[in-house]
Each structure stands twice: as structure tokens, then as C-alpha cells.
Amino acid sequence: MTAQVADMGVLADRGALNSARLTQDARRESLTFLALCSPGLILVGLIIVLPIGWLFWLSFFDESGALSGANYARFFEQRSYVRTFITTFQVAFLVTGLTVLIGYPLSYMLSQISRRAAAICMIFVILPFWTSVLVRTYAWLVILQRKGLVNTWLMDLGVIDQPLPLAHNFTGVIIGMTHILLPFMVLPLYGSMKSIDTDYLRAGMNLGASPTATFWQIFFPLSLPGLAAGIIMVFVLCLGFFVTPALMGGGNVIMWAMRMEQTTSLYANWGAGSALGVVLLAVTLGLLALFHRLMGARATSVWGG
Amino acid sequence: MYSDQALPISHWRRSWLYVTGGLVLVYLIGPSLIIVPMSFSGSTLLQFPPQSWSLRWYEAYFGSVEWRDATIVSVKVAVMTTLVATPIGTAAAYAINSGVLRFSGFIQTLLTATLIIPVILVGIGTFFLYAKLGLNNTLTGLVIAHTVQALPLVVLTVLSGFRTYDMNQERVARSLGANRFAAFWQVTVPQIRFSIVSGALFAFITSFDEVVVALFISGGETTTLTRRMFTALRDQVDPTIAAISTCLIVLSVLLLTLAQLLGRRRS
């Protein structure tokens, strides 16, 4: 009897010992994995979080070093800032609209042709995606500038007498940015179109819907998640785009990112530049958060209902 | 008549779709393709098709000390970035994939944050930080900044490789007496190596093509190729850049083909 009780005591002790060891092991395991992430996390903390946090802090001080909202008030008071925001949003809306307009038919075609043909066509989308933005902007400069290909051809053909102003202005920025951002529209759109179950479409047609009705009432609504993802992606990238407007705009189209570069590099006004950056980041993250909320609701309404 | 995915509509009735799609594909690929023949032009005027052919713009590129130095800087930075970002990204992907890590979703968001944050803000922030640390215009500074830019691609590519890998194989190796690193190196790595190499290729090209951050933090002797191209393009449209662009396009094609081939082996 007493021996049995003693045995049970030993067992209980062992159980406690085991569970303590297991907890310890789990903790060690967790720490090991955290250590594996730490080089990456330290780098991101050092290069992304720390400087951006610092700039955020700086944006609340004016040039004399006093705490103030002057850097933000400037956005509404100075006409040049207001113009920059207007230009940026004009470009963003136009480019997003254009990428939808030409990206949707392309994605639709890719989703309808055979897998093999689509894979070949995809090279045309992926290759520019992985070609330097500089190279592609340079190509557009060569094509669109005053003595560029388009103007030379049109003048040789006698269509125009004077070269058309296609580069170093708003038009050039729009054409170049639409080209560069188009893959960001096509890739999510194609992905979502590819996942649409074609049985729905066949069912619709079997029940007597015309091809047009089938497209608008079944296919189009099911492609909306991809379309929304593409729109958000392109719009957000437009807001902070630098290289193409800087080169294609020829100094005539000042967008948000260019204004940031000017205020910091040219005028060394860190407070003002930081404030621009803070608002840009806030708008970007805000749009992405909005997208997640909308898509979260949408996903449940599409798949749940 | 029609493929499996397509609606039961004849190809003929939707020829408008193929024409539109084809035109958009031309718009996508045309500009890059037009540069290639133009780089072999014999004249200073940029014409298409060129009136005469020569290699003068390639001679101008390879003959110029400035362009050559910038190319060497870019290659060095891209190679070092690849060597740093690949192991760091792979380690992080391994940890995220383990499922043991707390807040792994948050950690993944942090590591891939540079995909979302406007590059211009990263450029200004890095320049500001490096001014305090004395890292502006240094190779070290460039490699660190580019590693952060390349990290998301490595993490995401390797994570996608883990998706088709059964981690139990590593557990078996460990239960048979291998330590964790040996098990990872001898059992896991051989099976996800194509993802790791793809991630490395993406890291290389991210660094090599990066412009905006380099614009702020590189200069003098450490001017990268893209930075020099950007400055040159601001002044005038120099045909030498057509030759450099052609080289960059060829590099992209090569790396992408390699990544595609690896992807096929992977799946």
C-alpha cells in the first residue's frame, strides 16, 4: 500500500519533470526559430523601420527645430504642393483606368486560350516585368521624343508637319507608366480568371443565356476579386512612382515622389520631405487596409452565399 | 474546336478578342524589342530600322571607363546582395514555415514590407540613416540596402517551395540521429534547392536593376550602372544607353529563362 503510494508519487514527479522539460524544449525550439528570422528582422528594422520612424518624428518639427504642424499645413497653403497632389492623383486615376481598359481584354484572352498558348503569351507579360524600369522608360523616350520614332514616321508619311509633343509632358508620363504597370494588373486578373469554374459559364449558356449575358452576369462578377487587386496594386504604385515621371515628364510633370526627392536632395528640407513621405505611406497603407476589409467581406459573400 | 477552358463559342466569333489581346502584347514587348536593333545603328540619330549597322555604341559602352566602373560596381553589389539575401531569406522562410514561431504572420509581413512601402521613402530614409553612419557612397551600404529590397522575393519564393515539401522527412532524419542543421542540409535543401536558386536569381536582378535607392545612397566611385544611366537620361537620350539596355535585356532574358527552367524542375 505504502509502496504503491510512493510509486505514484515518483510517477507524478516524473510527469511534472517531463512536462517541465517539454515546456523548456518548446521554448528553446521557439527561440531557435526566432533566431533564424532575426538577421532579416534586424536588417528590416535598421533600414526600414528605424529611418522611417525617425523621418516621422522629424516631420513634426519646423526648420528652427520647434514642434509644429507647419510641414503639414504647407500642403494646403502652397499652390505648388496642391498642384503636385492634383497631378499625382490625375496620373494615378488615368493610368489605373487605362491598365483596366487594356489589361482586362488581355487577361480574358489569356484565360480563354489553351494552357500552352497562354504560357507563351505570358512570356510577353513577364519579360517586361523583369526588365529594368530604366530600360523601358528609355525605350519610350526613344519612341516618343521630338525626333523620336513616332514623330519621324508620321512626318515621313506626311501625316503631320510639326512633331507632336509626346514626351517630356503629361502624355509621355501616362503612356510610359501604363506600360510599366500593366503586368501588375494582368497577373492578379489572369490568376482570378483562371480560377473561375467554367461549369458555371456552361450552365448559364445551357439555360439559354447569350454569350454576352453569360460574360456580364457570370464571368465578370467572378473576376472582380482579381480586378480589385490589380486596381489597388496599380493605383498604390502610381502614387509613389518616381523613375518614369522624372524622365518622361521632363520636369514638367511633378509627382509626389519627385516632390519628395526635390525637397530633400535639392532644398535639404527634411521636415517637409518627411511629412510628404508620412502622408504617402499613410495613404498607401490605408488603401491596402481598405482593400483587405472589402475583399474579406467580398470573399465571404461570394463563397459563403 | 475550342479548348477545355473556353466557352462553347467558336474562335472566329471572338477574333476581336485575339486582335485586341495581340495588340496589347505588342505594346508590352515592343518597346524593349525595338531597342535591340537600334543599338546596332551606325548613326547618332536613333532610327528604326537603322540606316547603317555598326558596333560603335557597344565600343562606346565598353570603352568608357565611367560606364565600365559603374557596371563593375553593379555586378559586385548584385553578387554580394545575392550571397547575403539568399541565406537570410531562406532561414527566415524555414522558420516561418515551421509553424512553431509565434507571430509568424506578423514576421512575414515585416520581412516582405518593402514590397508595399514606397521605394522613394526607403531611399530618403536610408540616405538619412547612412548620413549619420557614414555609409553613403559605400559598397557595404549598397549591399545592405539592396539586401532589404531583395529579401521579400527570396522569402516568398522559398516559402512557395516549402509548400510542396513534407517537413516530416526532416523529422525522420533527426529521429535517426542527424542534428537539425545536418537534417536540413542533407534532406530538406536538396528538395527545395530549385526554389532557393530561383530566389537567388530574383535577388540578383532586384539588386542589379534597382534605381531609386541607389540614386540616394550611391555616388562617386560607387555609382551603380542604373544610377549613371538615370543621370545620363536626364540630360539627353544617348545611343550608348541603347547598347547598355540591350545588354540588360539579354541579362533579364537569361536569368528569367533559368528561373523558368528551375520552376519546371521544381513542379
pLDDT digits (tens, 9 = 90+) for B14-34: 788 889 999 999 999 998 888
**Residue A22 touches partner B, C-beta closer than 8 Å:** no
What domain range is B33 assigned to?
12-56
Beta carbons of B100 and A273 less than 8 Å apart: no
pLDDT tens digits, one per residue of A94-143: 999 999 999 999 999 998 888 888 888 888 888 888 888 999 999 998 89
A94 at interface of B, judged by CB pairs closer than 8 A:
no
Distance from CA of A202 to the nearest CA of B (A): 7
Q: Which three cell numbers stand for residue A160?
A: 503631320
Say yes or no: B138 and B100 in one domain.
yes
Q: How far is CA A247 from CA A179, B67, B71, B267, in A?
A: 15, 20, 21, 41
Same domain, B27 and B75: no
CB neighbours (10 Å) of residue B116?
16
Say if CB B165 and CB B99 are below 8 A apart. no
pLDDT score at A297: 53
Instruction: Tally helices (H) and strands (E) across chain A.
Output: 14, 0
ipTM of the complex: 0.86
User: Is residue B158 located within the same domain as residue B136?
Assistant: yes
Domain containing residue A128: 91-304
Q: How confident is the model at residue A253 (pLDDT cuts 50, 70, 90)?
A: confident
Nearest to A201 among B7, B24, B111 (CB): B7
Residue A138's nearest CA partner among A248, A242, A237 is A248
Look at residue A267 and tell me whether its pLDDT is greater than 80: no
Do residues B226 and B94 share a domain?
yes
Q: Is the pLDDT of residue A238 over 90?
A: yes
Tell me the chain A residues in contact with residue B34 when contact means C-beta distances shorter than 8 Å: 139, 142-143, 149
Q: Does any domain span residue A85?
A: no
Q: Which of B37, B59, B61 is nearest to B47 (CA)?
A: B37
Q: What is the mean pLDDT of residues B98-125?
A: 86
Residue A256 and residue A283 in contact, taking contact as beta carbons nearer than 8 Å: no
Query: Mean pLDDT across the stretch A217-227?
Result: 88
Q: Which of B198, B201, B94, B74 is CA-nearest to residue A39?
A: B94
B176-204 mean pLDDT:
87
A33 → closest Cβ in B35, B88, B100 = B100
**CA–CA distance from B40 to each of A138, A174, A179, B228 (Å)?**
16, 29, 25, 21
Share above pLDDT 90 across residues of chain B, in percent, rounded to a whole number: 36
Specify if B1 maps to a domain: no
Give the model's pLDDT for residue A6.
Answer: 58
Tell me whether residue A270 is in a domain: yes
Chain centre to alpha carbon of residue B70: 18
Identify the burial level of A292 via C-beta atoms within 10 angstroms of its C-beta, where 0-12 means exposed, 13-18 middle and 19 or more buried. Answer: exposed
Nearest to A48 among B27, B91, B113 (CB): B113
pLDDT of residue A305: 24
CA–CA gap between residue B148 and residue B81 (Å, rounded): 9
What 8-state DSSP symbol labels residue A95? H
What residues 82-121 of chain B have any CB closer than 8 A to a CB of chain A?
88-89, 91-92, 94-96, 98, 100-102, 107, 110-111, 113-114, 116-121
B250 and A CB contact within 8 Å: no
Q: Is residue A80 in some structural domain?
A: no
Residue A163, classed as helix, strand or coil, is coil
Whether A194 has a pLDDT exceeding 50, the answer reads yes
Chain B interface mutation, best of A23, A48, A107, highest count of B Cβ atoms under 10 Å: A48
Do B167 and B212 fall within a single domain? yes
Residue A219: all three cell numbers together: 464571368
Q: What is the pLDDT of residue A301?
A: 36
Helix/strand/coil for B52: coil
Residue A6 lies inside a defined structural domain of this protein: no
Q: What is the mean pLDDT of residues B108-126?
A: 89
C-alpha span between A13 and B68 (Å, rounded)? 72
Residue B66 has pLDDT above 60, yes or no: yes
Over residues A71-79, the mean pLDDT reads 82
Q: Are residues B205 and B180 in the same domain?
A: yes
| pLDDT surpasses 60 at A3 | no
Q: How far apart are CA A243 and CA A257, in angstroms?
A: 9
What angle, rounded to 10 degrees, do the helices at B119-133 and B139-163 form? 130
Cell numbers at A122, concatenated: 505570358
B38 and B70 share one domain: no
Q: Give the separation between CA B83 and CA B91, rounded to whole angstroms.
A: 13
Mean pLDDT estimate for chain A: 85
Q: Which residues of B touch A48 (CB under 8 A)?
A: 113-114, 117, 122, 125, 148
CATH of the domain at A268: 1.10.3720.10
Question: Taking the CB of residue B108, how many other CB atoms lie within 10 A of it?
Answer: 21
Interface probe for A, chosen from B5, B154, B235 (most Cβ of A below 10 Å), is: B5
Mean pLDDT of chain B: 86
Mean pLDDT value of segment A28-52: 89
Contact residues on chain A for B94, CB-CB shorter than 8 A: 36
User: Both B141 and B167 in a single domain?
Assistant: yes
Q: What is the pLDDT of residue A2?
A: 55
Q: With respect to residue A265, please indicate whether it lies within any of the assigned structural domains.
A: yes
Q: Are residues B26 and B99 in the same domain?
A: no
Tell me if A56 is assigned to some domain.
no
pLDDT at A214 over 90: no
Q: Does B6 fall in a domain?
A: no
| Residue B83 and residue B17 share a domain | no
Using the beta-carbon criterion (under 8 Å), do A112 and B209 form an inter-chain contact?
no
CA distance linking residue B151 with residue B84, whole number of Å: 9
Measured between CA atoms, the residue of chain A closest to residue B249 is A131
* pLDDT of B101: 77
Contacts of A198 in chain B (CB under 8 A): 4-7
Q: How many domains does chain A have?
A: 1
Task: Kindly tell me if the per-residue pLDDT of B135 is higher than 80.
Answer: yes
Tell me the residues of chain B between 119 and 148 that have a Cβ less than 8 Å away from chain A. Answer: 119-122, 124-129, 144-145, 147-148
Do B45 and B172 reside in the same domain of the chain?
no
Same domain flag for B107 and B195? yes
Domain assignment present for residue A135? The answer is yes
Number of domains in chain B: 2
Among the ranges given (B7-21, B114-128, B215-229), the one the predictor scored with the smallest mean pLDDT: B7-21
pLDDT at A263 over 90: no
Q: What is the CA radius of gyration of chain B?
A: 23
Residue B3 in domain? no
- Verify whether the Cβ–Cβ distance B245 to A148 is below 8 Å: no
B242 belongs to a structural domain: yes
